[in-house]
């Protein structure tokens, strides 16, 4: 995780009246976290709360990328194809207490799939 970029992003989150943001694979996720991935049938969402450490919902096959950039193990919500991703999203949103959060999203990058999961499990 690039701490300087994370700090700058946190300042922007607060300056815009948000509690955090949710990033999907793409240039912004790489810029802030160093995690290189791509949009696929396996959803990945990086949560950047303004008042806490980053967390991520990510397939088990790619979880090592999150560990490699320093995301704490208890904030990596990995899931397998057998389990499906909905349980990981539900667990992440509950543990991070996102139901009352005002989350910013990447309107030009986030798919309907991830947006609908956030609406369902983090309706704030």
Q: Write out pLDDT tens, residues 9-22.
A: 999 999 999 999 99
Looking at the 3D structure of the chain, how many domains does it have? 1
pLDDT of residue 124 exceeding 80: no
Give the mean model confidence (pLDDT) for residues 18-31.
Answer: 96
Strand partners, 78: 58
Percentage of residues of the chain with pLDDT beyond 90 = 92
pTM exceeding 0.85: yes
pLDDT digits (tens, 9 = 90+) for 63-81: 999 999 999 999 999 999 9
Return the CATH number at 77.
3.40.350.10
CB 62 within 8 Å of CB 37: yes
Q: Nearest Cα to 45, choosing from 123, 113, 101? A: 113
With b meaning 16 or more CB within 10 Å and e meaning fewer, what string describes 34-69?
ebebeeeebbbbbbbbbeeebbbbbbeebbebbeeb
Domain of residue 56: give its range.
Answer: 3-121
User: E-strand spans in the chain?
Assistant: 20-23, 45-49, 55-59, 76-79, 103-105
pLDDT of residue 118 exceeding 90: yes
Mean pLDDT of the chain: 95
Give the mean model confidence (pLDDT) for residues 17-30.
Answer: 97
pLDDT of residue 6 exceeding 80: yes
């Amino acid at each position: 995780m690039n701490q300087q970029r994370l700090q700058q992003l946190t300042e922007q989150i607060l300056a815009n009246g948000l509690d955090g943001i949710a990033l999907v694979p793409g240039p912004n996720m790489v810029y802030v976290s160093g995690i290189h991935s791509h949009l696929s049938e396996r959803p990945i969402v990086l949560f950047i709360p303004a008042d806490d450490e980053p967390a991520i919902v990510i397939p088990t096959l790619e979880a090592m990328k999150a560990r490699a950039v320093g995301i704490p193990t208890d904030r990596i919500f990995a899931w397998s194809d057998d389990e499906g991703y909905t349980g990981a999203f539900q667990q992440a949103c509950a543990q991070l207490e996102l139901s009352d959060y005002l989350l910013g999203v990447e309107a030009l990058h986030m798919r309907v799939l991830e947006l609908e999961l956030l609406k369902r499990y983090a309706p704030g």
